[in-house]
Structure 1
Amino acid sequence: MPKVILIDTSRCTACRGCQIACKEWNELPANKTYQVGWGSHQNPKDLNVNNYKVVRFSERLDNGVVRWNFFPDQCRHCDIAPCKEIGDGYIEEAIVQDEKTGAILYTPKTKGFSKEQFEEIREACPYNVPRRDEKTGMLAKCDMCNDRIHAGMPPACVKTCPTGAMQFGEREDMLALGKARLAALRKDWPDAMLADPESVNVVYLLIDKPENYYKYSVAQANIGPMTKQQFLATLARPFKAMKA
């Protein structure tokens, strides 16, 4: 059964401990960042090849009251991953899924994707996650600390979180915990929801409307009458057919 990270945004204080822990564990270099001039405490502005996790800040007025929403953004490790479905059509096993954990992993083979192919992969992601290192050509994102999980440890971000906003465990247990927490929060936050719980392995509990967090806080796929899983599965068919 896949592992799940449950992120309860009601408990997130934007300390950014998870963001730093991710950089430290993955030995990612620092970015040159600037807070002055764009009106936000968020730093850096976006995910990049040196930041697999970014705590997003959203500030708004709600009936004259300033509301802050914090969103620790990262790869959702989809059960059916669009990036993998598209990538398989070009280079097999450049993007793989760990059977034990459910983590979606980018291998060194991703250097073989052209810029145009990368853009297809990125556009297919309903959460706008994949990034490309312009120096090496490799694709980069969160790997769910797959090495730590196999060693019996939780992801670094979960281990570091001081408020319990991040929990990690078996899918069934985490979804049960999320649903129980959701029921309690809805008494004060009627818009509270679990974001795409049936199709991803990083599940967010939101207490506000998704658009008040971040554009891609929930899947942005226009799926119409199909389920999300059906929609994502169709992405691979034209590419696999071409290879055949």
Structure 2
Amino acid sequence: MSKAFLIDTTRCTACRGCQLACKEWYELPANKTKQVGTHQNPPDLNANNYKLVRFNEHLDGETITWNFFPDQCRHCIEPPCQGAADTVEEGAVIKDEATGAVIFTDKMAQFSTEDLDYVRESCPYDIPRWDAKTKRPAKCVMCIDRVREGMLPACVLACPTGTMNFGERSEMLALAKERLAKVKKDHPNAMLADQEDVSVIYLLAEAPERYHTKAVAQAPARNTRKQLFASVRSSLTSVSKS
């Protein structure tokens, strides 16, 4: 059985411990940022931030509500990025059988800009970001080096509130359903985002759009077969040549 995260957003205080722990473990450099009217920092995912706690503020009547969303690669069960990359070169994106981690390999350094854009656009969660140093997209790798040694991912270990959870997929699904039942008592619209399609399962107390525009997949995550991408790509190429 592969591994999975459960991210219970109802417990997130936006301390950003997970975001910083990820940067520290991978020794990622700081980003030069500027104030753009939000506490969210940096403004978006980038090659130096595999994880980002997104801030969304809502005014409901006279009540201000904050919805925090620790964004990262979802490590899809059937990765669309793998299907897209395979149309360029087999093995450029791999999925580790033991953990379910989706990994971008060094083969992607040979991809053209068009190919890299194609892979990124295939992601229904808009996760991959170009890394000029490695010449390939950058994203969360499930701390596969730590997990293989029996350790928790850095973000999970750093979380002080129980927002971040990690373990066997079956255990995380059971925990997710248990917590969802409790949350629904106060938030009847609570849900588990794309639980059948991903290995990073979010528990949301409210509608997904109140957290992030890509909180749930923007395209069917299961339509990821290599032949589907090959067919679509062939059609686009034919149109561009006509």
The normalised TM-score by structure 2 is 0.93
In 2, Cα distance between the equivalents of 1:146 and 1:235? 29
Q: Are the structure 2 counterparts of residues 118 and 240 from structure 1 closer, same or farther at C-alpha, using a change threshold of 3 Å?
A: closer
Report the counterpart of residue 9 of structure 2 in structure 1: 9
**How far does residue 190 in structure 1 lie from its aligned partner after superposition?**
1.2
Which residue number in structure 2 is paired with residue 200 of structure 1? 198
Which residue identity does 1:75 align to in structure 2?
A: C
Q: Distance in 2 between matches of 1:136 and 1:12?
A: 32
Query: Corresponding residue for 2:231?
Result: 238
* Amino acid corresponding to residue 180 of structure 1 in structure 2: E
Give the alignment's TM-score, normalised by structure 1.
Answer: 0.92
2:93 to 76, 95, 101: 95
Which residue number in structure 2 is paired with residue 147 of structure 1?
Answer: 145
Equivalent position of 1:34 in the other structure: 34
Deviation at 1:98, TM superposition (A): 0.3
Alignment of 1:33-52 (within 5 A): 33-35=33-35, 38-52=36-50
The aligned amino acid for 1:10 is T
Q: Say which of 104, 118, 131 aligns to 1:106.
A: 104
Moved more, 93-102 or 232-241: 232-241
Read off the aligned partner of 2:231 and give its amino acid letter: P
Between the aligned partners of 1:16 and 1:92, the Cα distance in structure 2 is: 36
What aligned pairs does 1:125-144 form with structure 2 within 5 A after superposition? 125-144=123-142
> Which consecutive unaligned segments of at least 5 residues does structure 2 have?
236-242
Q: Select which of 59, 62, 86 maps to 1:64.
A: 62
Alpha-carbon distance in structure 1 between the residues aligned to 2:134 and 2:68: 32
- How many Å separate the matches in 2 of 1:239 and 1:113? 18
- 136 and 143 in structure 1: CA distance in 2 versus 1, 3 angstrom threshold: closer
1:27 & 1:201 partners in 2: Cα distance?
Answer: 24
TM-superposition CA deviations, 1:124-156 (whole Å, max 9, x none) = 100000111234421110000001000000100
**Paired residues of 1:80 and 1:199 also in contact (CA < 8 A):** yes
Deviations along 1:40-66, whole A, 9 cap, x unmatched? Answer: 000000000000000000001112210
Contact 1:128–1:216 at 8 Å: present in 2 too?
yes
Farther off after superposition, 25-34 or 13-22: 25-34
Q: Is 1:163 the equivalent of 2:161?
A: yes
Contact (CA 8 Å) 1:86, 1:239: kept in 2 or not? no
Q: Distance in 2 between matches of 1:87 and 1:177?
A: 33
Q: Is the 8 A contact 1:90 1:239 kept in 2?
A: no
- Once the two structures are superposed, residues 2-41 of structure 1 have per-residue CA deviations (whole angstroms, 9 ceiling, x without a partner) of 1001000000000000000000111111111122xx2100
Amino acid at match of 1:18: C
CA distance in 2, matches of 1:45, 1:162: 24
Tell me, yes or no, if the aligned pair for 1:105 and 1:143 is still in contact at 8 Å. yes
Q: Distance in 2 between matches of 1:97 and 1:105?
A: 6
Runs of 4+ displaced beyond 6 Å: 239-242
How far has the Cα of 1:241 moved from its partner? Answer: 9.0
How far apart are the structure 1 equivalents of 2:41 and 2:100? Answer: 29
Evaluate the alpha carbon distance shift between residue 235 and residue 47 of structure 1 in structure 2; reply closer, same or farther with a 3 A threshold: farther
CA contact 1:196–1:219 (8 Å) conserved in 2: yes
Conserved 8 A contact 1:89-1:239: no
